[in-house]
Structure 1
């Protein structure tokens, strides 16, 4: 990207946001201690009526760190951490870091194979999990199946918690009923509560620096992404600065903390900015609507699916959600119909206007590399590069930098870019100059706004031209009768297949959709198969 383009897109930055930021030179646990000194009674998070302030978080995480050290956890040893959003997650995360350990985060709904790979690669000394039963799953079962296959001695100590055990008894019953979660105590494991509430509150300072590993995040492709304190605090600072988060903000956390896309815009952004945090263990649209009203939530990180479920839920239509000012879509573009439906629902129910701002990033870059400016959004764009984020679009074959409006793959450099993949010395996606070379197809316009095309795996070359699935999705999503769609590549046949969901009350035939595509796309880009479905499978 040229200097002139950089100067152009800086003109669209949010008011007060500079191209270069000042970052805290600290570890995550040191940042917590620093915030504590400023105001120990600052409210950190609210969990189903339970308030945890900075002093609580500091004291309880210190007690947990003491217990981990008594279990002989050594500096640099890995600790598997997998549970829904809760105070236990936050206390465990800070406790592990204080004790000198490295959290290894994996989706609590992950498969036994995913747990097995993470355990084999990282060799965690301790595992901390939730053992509850949801309607769909025993949250402990995948881990249990993995260690049964590897060998139970593969993890020295297993600690389990029940999500609602820290709540008053009546609230435990009510929350269990609301979220359809049952406690399922595993007596063969160590009790999280005992290790926290019965441990001495003795500060045992394990030295660490901002360049130390703070987290290993396992992705859906089962690669472990190594992130330092500097990476995580850097991306949280970029995010907080971009959206001007302050102590007056109330952020609702429903996206799992076990993903950095859930952790950074909520827990870590709250730590950096001082914003208050409201936490739900699972996404239930009716509970999200109730919580927005009850806690006066102003800032909501979401996915398009979450927005759709909220717009359709009756509770959303009954509640006063006027406190909600900003919804940040963490996965890029929101289909126009879903965006419009949600905006209209809030206008009709609360008489309020909400900004839906699209962001984008990779786990390899913590969470976020791009975001639309609240003052200058562009439809269909993932936005501008965040402060201190260098970006380039490269030819996927020659890796030559490309100019505006040329399709290629994204390359990124910045404070949020990972240290590398864990334990994969021959499989690191960096060039000799330290740029992260991705397989994500993008292009940028003359003003520096980026547009997502999909991954190389979601593209095919026909007659010497590369065709990206996401481009076809955008065209189909623009049809007046289409709610959302998904386009997949049939690599063997070199063909495109589209699954399309139609808006309620609308009627459209497959042939009409084909004809619409013909008006927007060249012949080779028109899907050979279009199927109308009730809902998309994610």
Structure 2
């Protein structure tokens, strides 16, 4: 493997470098206006000075809500520049999750929107380390009691304050924590992932290379949150970012056309809705809407969970550009694999990004397996986390630097990775391993299905049977039961005997985590309770 190189820089220096190279270039554009790289860098300096003054030391942890706004970028880099660590706070989580994140990370200052600030005020007795709550979205200065408006917090800094190290970077230790990001908690309580400057800078370079980002790129982020992978990779490459808060994917495409976007980053759930909206009407000819004029996209990029092959093909056909998927997780900063935008292999998550090694090991012996053999995916590279908060043991990274992902998959002879499922999500029917994701892909191919979810229904004889919850495109159409039966029959014709759908229900929506992944843990609990009640009846 050719040696992969990346800048030996602290994370915030990526922004400083971009501001020097292209001070007047647009860094971030939102519905309220644009911010240049120089302006963003100056704003980060101001946050760094505030935190240096407020905390009086380095090494503290600062909670920052990753809202889809340019201000997050300034707070994120400013916190790191002050020599402190960013703790990413998802503004969509509820009080219990918020308390868990802030208490586990021992957050001392929180810079969050008003709704999140209200939850923190209610929970302050359970957060003894939290000394100040700053509200970032109160232009009129009206904030909840016991919080501080952002403008007031910044104005408290004396005019003579110089900021950390003359507003240079707050650290020279590239292996120090820059950011703590919590896992989604789909298999247990969310865990705090410690990511170093080296992890994040290396992954920014890896993403920019894998996605073909450069200073002439325009990335449109159609996401509910501001994901740091998109922020860091764009700043690394000097790309112009456009943030779209409108959840309507057609509206996002119109914005992409109007802004000259070259890369469209979308959430799989939204891309599935878009694919359904542009599906041809077989009875009345092609009734699809026309793509917005002026599109200059080179790729649509999806991540977080799987986008079905059917939806991928529909979008590629409609837009005439590749739809690219990747693979990663918080522990990998987050990207490990990406399809090649020039030749995406549908159904895979692509090859490893530069500087990354991947292998698949047997679940029992932990010995690497041959190509096409299924096992647990392991990753090694500069983006692998330094560890979990509060975890003094070896954790999932072995002595050789291999990180055990908890995902099941296989490799083809070219090193392209195909994921089967999460280790905790698969179940057995008559000792055969069933992948819920694989069954879902077959069900979702039916044009009558909007979305679906699969879990195992406990069975005392076979282990577990396939239970499928299906969201129909036309839930009020006549003959609902006949439609459901037809969907199951057609899917079962394509499924192995152990994968057969044996229980099915119409549901209103697939339960999802705040980042859009199917929330199987709660669904499994509900299914197990129902199965137990049914067995006892």
TM superposition score category, shorter chain reference? 0.7 to 0.9
Corresponding position of 1:431: 398
Measured in 1, the distance between the counterparts of 2:258 and 2:198 equals 35
For residue 130 of structure 1, report the CA deviation from its aligned partner: 0.5
Cα distance, 1:497–1:84 mapped onto 2, change above 3 Å = same
In 2, the alpha carbon distance for the partners of 1:420 and 1:159 equals 29
Residue equivalent to 1:67: 50
Question: Are the counterparts in 2 of residues 421 and 427 from structure 1 also a CA contact under 8 Å?
Answer: no
User: Which has the higher mean CA deviation after the structures are superposed, 395-404 or 477-486?
Assistant: 477-486
1:468 aligns with 2:443: no
**Kept in 2: contact 1:411–1:438 (CA 8 A):** yes
**Could you tell me whether the CA contact under 8 Å between 1:335 and 1:477 is conserved in 2?**
yes
Q: Which residue in the other structure is 1:324 paired with?
A: 297
Unaligned runs of 5+ in 1: 1-5, 7-18, 132-137, 170-182, 347-352
**Partner residue of 2:511?**
537
Q: What per-residue deviation string (whole Å, max 9, x for no partner) do you get for residues 286-330 of structure 1? A: 652342233222211112212134456799858435123311011
Indicate yes or no: 2:238 matched with 1:274.
Answer: yes
Answer yes or no: is the 8 Å Cα contact 1:333–1:381 preserved in 2: no
Equivalent residue for 1:499?
A: 469
Residue 81, structure 1, aligned to residue 60, structure 2: no
Q: Which residue of 1 aligns with 2:192?
A: 224
1:239-258 Cα deviation digits (max 9, x unpaired)? 11112111111111232556
With over 3 angstroms needed to count, the CA separation of the structure-2 counterparts of 1:531 and 1:327, relative to structure 1, is: same
| Residue 384 (structure 1) aligned to one of 320, 330, 351 | 351
| Distance of 1:444 and 1:309 partners within structure 2 | 30
Residues 31-62 of structure 1 show CA distances to partners (whole Å, capped at 9, x for unaligned) of 22222222322221112242211211121111
Q: Which residue of 1 aligns with 2:534?
A: none
> Secondary structure at 2:335's aligned position in 1?
coil
1:119 paired to 2:102: yes
Q: Say whether 1:159 aligns with 2:134.
A: yes
1:446 — aligned with what? 413
* 2:206 corresponds to: 238
Deviations 1:225-272 (A, max 9, x none): 1101111111111111112111111111232556xxx221x2111111
User: C-alpha displacement at 1:139, in angstroms?
Assistant: 3.7
Structure 2 residue matching 1:142: 3-state secondary structure: helix
| Deviation, structure 1 residue 403 | 0.7
Residues of 2 paired with 1:496 and 1:334: CA distance?
21
The aligned counterpart of 1:186 is 144
| More divergent stretch after superposition (197-206 vs 321-330) | 197-206
Higher relative contact order (CA closer than 8 Å, sequence separation 6+): 1
Residue 270 of structure 2: aligned partner: 306
Alpha-carbon contact 1:490-1:496 (below 8 Å) kept:
yes
Q: Does 1:204 align with 2:164?
A: yes
Q: 2:117 is matched with which residue: 135, 140, 148? A: 140
**Which whole-Å CA distance do the structure 2 matches of 1:455 and 1:184 have between them?**
45
2:323, 2:344 within 8 Å by CA — same for their partners in 1? no
State whether residues 6 and 205 of structure 2, in contact with CA within 8 Å, keep that contact through their aligned partners in structure 1: yes
Which residues of 2 match residues 333-482 of structure 1 at below 5 A?
Answer: 333-343=306-316, 345-346=318-319, 353-426=320-393, 428-479=395-446, 481-482=448-449
Q: For 1:517-528, what aligned pairs fall within 5 Å after superposition?
A: 517-528=491-502
Note closer, same or farther for the CA distance 1:515–1:93 as it changes in structure 2 (3 Å cut): same
Distance in 1 (alpha carbons) for counterparts of 2:143 and 2:215: 37
Name the CA distance, whole Å, in 2 between partners of 1:312 and 1:487: 20
The residue aligned with 1:130 is 113
> In the alignment, which of 12, 29, 33 is matched to residue 12 of structure 2?
29
Instruction: Tell me if structure 1 keeps the 8 A contact 2:142–2:149.
Output: no
**TM (normalized to structure 1)?**
0.83
Is the CA contact (8 Å cut-off) linking 2:471 and 2:506 kept in structure 1?
A: yes
1:512 to 486, 496, 517: 486
Please state whether the residue corresponding to 2:123 is helix, strand or coil. Answer: helix
Distance 1:317 1:139, change over 3 A: farther
Distance 1:316 1:515 in 2: 31
Q: Matches of 1:459 and 1:23 in 2, distance apart?
A: 37
Give the stretch that moved more between structures: 296-305 or 503-512. 503-512
| TM-score, scaled relative to structure 2 | 0.83
Contact 1:252–1:299 (CA under 8 A) maintained in structure 2: yes
Paired residues of 1:216 and 1:227 also in contact (CA < 8 A): yes
Counterpart residue number, 1:16: none
**Count of equivalent residues:** 486
User: Does the residue aligned with 2:181 lie in a helix, a strand or coil?
Assistant: strand
Q: Does 1:248 align with 2:208?
A: no
Q: Point out where structure 2 has 5 or more consecutive residues left out of the alignment.
A: 279-287, 513-537
